[in-house]
Amino acid sequence: LLALLHVDQVIELIRSMPDQKSCREALMRTNNDDSDTNNTGDSQLRLGLSAEQADSVLRLQLGQLTRLNQGKLEEEKAELESKGADLQRLLDVDDAVYELMIEEFDNMDAKFGHDRKTKILNDDGEVNEIDLITNSRSVIVVNRGGYIKRLPLTTFESQGRGTRGKRGTSDSSSSDDEVLHCITCNDHDTLLMITQNGIAYGLPAYQVPTASRTAKGTPIPSVLPISMDQVVTTVLPVSEFSKDEYIVLATEQGWIKRTPLDAFAKTSSRGLTIASLTEGDKLKWCRRCTDQDDILLGSSGGMAVRFPACTLRPTGRTSRGVRSMKLRGTDTIADMNVVI
């Protein structure tokens, strides 16, 4: 606006300056500046502009030096002065701040206000780790060397009859890589891992580390507090500890017992004694059964016996059990299974 009020003098000043830098300095000169200049064209022009204002004046085109453009600048000046006054009022008057906040909140409510699309419900329960795990189907593999791994069931897709199949363990000729147990389960299932010395460990299936098909797996002592020389004889996946099901346990020397499945509900990774063994005896077989099933045992001497599971009286976890069959001399139990 100052430049437009003194447009003739500004034009004369610009024409008389040798370069743009000198012209900017002349436009920024104030009445208090007594410095002399080699040009006398600006001897009476003292606008006192800032550096930004001087650059804006120098960028003006001749077409902008009109009364219409001057009116726009005056409107902009009045708007800025009004806005400055409002901002200063906010700094000086607390009530003005509250009034502005109320006005802005009302505008937000008018623009974004709508009924809530979600509900907040009270939940007294805690979020457990298992609640965050997808209950997918998996394959659990335990080898003779004491390694365990978990693979998604989708790793082994369906194949046609007569095909070679895929390798599911490491490519090694060592006997330690021989598969001892291979089961399918849900990731939310509890794995009852029973050792030959009569200790049962409960481990959620999702806590078994995952590995590739050809990987060796993770040492069992890394997931359970057992030593490498302890042999896991059975891995049972349990989705629900039902009162109508039982676990049949048989030892190498012919002792057998039937214990309700719900007696194992509190089995944890710390271990739980599930059978009392005599010296030199080993717990070799553990199977799930119901009262409608039969139990079949065979000895290394070629003898076998089959009887209904309901004839075997249920006993507690720590009981020794009863004799399953009469063994002669050094004969031992070779295998035990449940006939459905």
Q: How do residues 253-268 score in pLDDT, each as one tens digit?
A: 989 999 999 888 888 8
pLDDT of 2 over the 70 cut: no
- So what's the pLDDT on residue 64? 56
Are the beta carbons of 289 and 258 closer than 8 angstroms? yes
Please return the burial class of 16, using the count of CB atoms within 10 Å of its CB with bins 0-12, 13-18 and 19+.
middle
Q: Specify the amino acid at residue 321.
A: G
Q: What digits encode the pLDDT tens for the residues 37-82?
A: 444 444 456 666 777 777 777 776 655 555 546 677 677 778 888 8
Torsions phi, psi of 108, nearest 5?
Answer: -65, -40
The lowest-confidence range among 103-112, 157-166, 180-189, 257-266 is: 157-166
- Amino acid 9: pLDDT: 72
Secondary structure (3-state) at 86: helix
pLDDT at 215: 85
CA-CA distance, 248 to 242, in Å (whole number)? Answer: 14
Q: Which of 194, 220, 189, 218 is CA-nearest to residue 205?
A: 189
**What is the model's pLDDT at position 186?**
93
DSSP state of 137: E
Percent of the residues in the chain that have a pLDDT greater than 90, as a whole number: 24
What is the model's pLDDT at position 63?
A: 58
Question: Does residue 104 carry a pLDDT above 80?
Answer: yes
CB 317 within 8 A of CB 273: yes
Number of Cβ atoms within 10 Å of the Cβ of 143 = 23
What is the pLDDT, as a whole number, of residue 154?
A: 87
| Residue 129, CB-side half-sphere exposure with 13 Å CA sphere | 6
Q: What pLDDT shows up at residue 306?
A: 92
Neighbours of 256 (CB within 10 A): 21
